[in-house]
């Protein structure tokens, strides 16, 4: 696989590294680790990879003023849309329904998910 399908090999290695990293976190409860892995698997089966930070932003959603709760299905809907902004660091952004998904340009991994009521001033419209 490493030589015949390097893209799949890279994805497999990132997955293994991520699950190992999650398992090594003593501050995570067994239930939280299971939720992180289940969330990763859900999005991976739908064609999207997510970093540990991105998973924490999804599973550990904060509530409070100006925070918008979203379901996995709503997030998947945003992920399936086109990029409409770019950050100054080159990361691509999908901003729909007050949900911003930031993806790495090189791997395509979701690096963060945030809720916001407006576009960041330093995002460039695509």
Report the Cα 105 to chain-centroid distance in Å. 13
Provide the residue range defining the domain that includes 64: 6-125
Task: Transcribe 22-86 into DSSP letters.
Answer: HHT-TTS-HHHHHHHHHHHHHHHHTT--B-HHHHHHHHT---STT-----HHHHHHHHTSPP-EE
| pLDDT confidence band for 64 (50 / 70 / 90) | low
Whole-angstrom distance, CA of residue 6 vs CA of residue 11: 9
Within-domain flag for 13? yes
Residue 23 included in any domain: yes
Please check whether residue 39 lies inside any domain of the structure. Answer: yes
Residue 24 has pLDDT above 80, yes or no: yes
Rounded to two decimals, the pTM is 0.83
Q: Is the residue at 21 inside a domain?
A: yes
In a domain, 1, yes or no: no
Query: Quick one: tokens of 96?
Result: 């729909």
How many independent structural domains does the chain possess?
A: 1
Q: What number of other Cβ atoms are within 10 A of residue 106's Cβ?
A: 8
């Amino acid at each position: 696989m490493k030589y015949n399908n390097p893209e799949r090999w890279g994805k497999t290695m990132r997955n293994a590294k991520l699950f190992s990293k999650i398992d090594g976190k003593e501050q995570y409860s067994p239930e939280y680790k299971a939720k992180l892995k289940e969330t990763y698997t859900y999005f991976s089966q739908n064609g999207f990879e997510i970093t540990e930070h991105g998973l924490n932003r999804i599973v550990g959603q904060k509530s409070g003023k100006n925070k918008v709760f979203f379901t996995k299905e709503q997030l998947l809907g945003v992920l399936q849309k086109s990029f409409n902004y770019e950050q100054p660091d080159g990361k691509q952004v999908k901003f729909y329904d007050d949900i911003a998904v930031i993806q790495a340009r090189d791997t395509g991994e979701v690096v963060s998910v945030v809720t916001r009521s407006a576009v960041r001033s330093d995002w460039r419209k695509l």
